[in-house]
């Protein structure tokens, strides 16, 4: 059974870069049916899609965040990562990684448990 697990610092200082990783177990990140996504949730902004990556490295970003976001994939480690630069308090949120099925066009049907990231000095 596929499982996703986020990891990374829970506290990031303003203007620094938020870095998270998502480890995939129970399946291969190189499966060409799937895309791997980051989504965040905060009381003020609700659920917000950040971006997506395919195992080949092709990325798709939310235009609202595109200038600050980098998503990368490491197929040897079966994980993908999120970097969000120049963070402010508005980036405080629970960050989720998730999988969607591009072949069957099924949206996010597998999620990590989420990790809270607080932006504060």
Partner 1 sequence: DIQMTQSPSTLSASVGDRISITCRASQSISRWLAWYQQKPGKAPKLLIYKASTLESGVPSRFSGSGSGTEFNLTIGSLQPDDFATYYCQHYNGFSPYTFGQGTKLDIK
Classify burial at 10, counting beta carbons within 10 Å of its beta carbon; exposed 0-12, middle 13-18, buried 19 or more. exposed
Smallest gap from Cβ 98 to partner 1, in A, equals 8
Taking the least distance from each CB to partner 1, the nearer of 62 and 75 is 62
Q: Which is nearer to partner 1, 3 or 72 (CB)?
A: 3
Structure tokens at 114: 């989420």
Q: In angstroms, what is the minimal distance from the CB of 49 to partner 1?
A: 4
For partner 1, give the closer residue by CB, 16 or 100.
100
Sites of contact with partner 1 (CB under 8 A): 46-49, 62-64, 96, 98, 100, 105-109, 111-114
Alpha-carbon distance 102 to 52, whole Å?
A: 11
Backbone angles phi, psi at 84, to 5 degrees: -125, 115
The residue among 104 and 121 lying less far from partner 1, judged by its C-beta, is 104
Give min distance, CB of 104 to partner 1, in A.
9
Q: How far is the CB of 15 from partner 1 (least distance, A)?
A: 25
Q: What is the DSSP string of 63-105?
A: TTTTTTEEEEEETTTTEEEEEE-S--GGG-EEEEEEEEETTTT
């Amino acid at each position: 059974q596929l499982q996703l697990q986020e990891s990374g610092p829970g506290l990031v200082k303003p203007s620094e870069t938020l870095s998270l990783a998502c480890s995939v177990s129970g399946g291969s990140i190189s499966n060409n049916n799937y895309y791997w996504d980051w989504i965040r949730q905060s009381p003020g902004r609700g659920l917000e899609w950040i971006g997506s990556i395919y195992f080949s490295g092709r990325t798709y970003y939310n235009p609202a965040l595109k200038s600050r976001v980098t998503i990368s994939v490491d197929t040897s480690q079966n994980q993908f990562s999120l970097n969000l630069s120049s963070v402010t308090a508005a980036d405080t949120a629970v960050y989720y990684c998730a999988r969607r099925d591009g072949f069957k066009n099924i949206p996010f049907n597998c999620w990590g448990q989420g990790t809270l990231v607080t932006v504060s000095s």
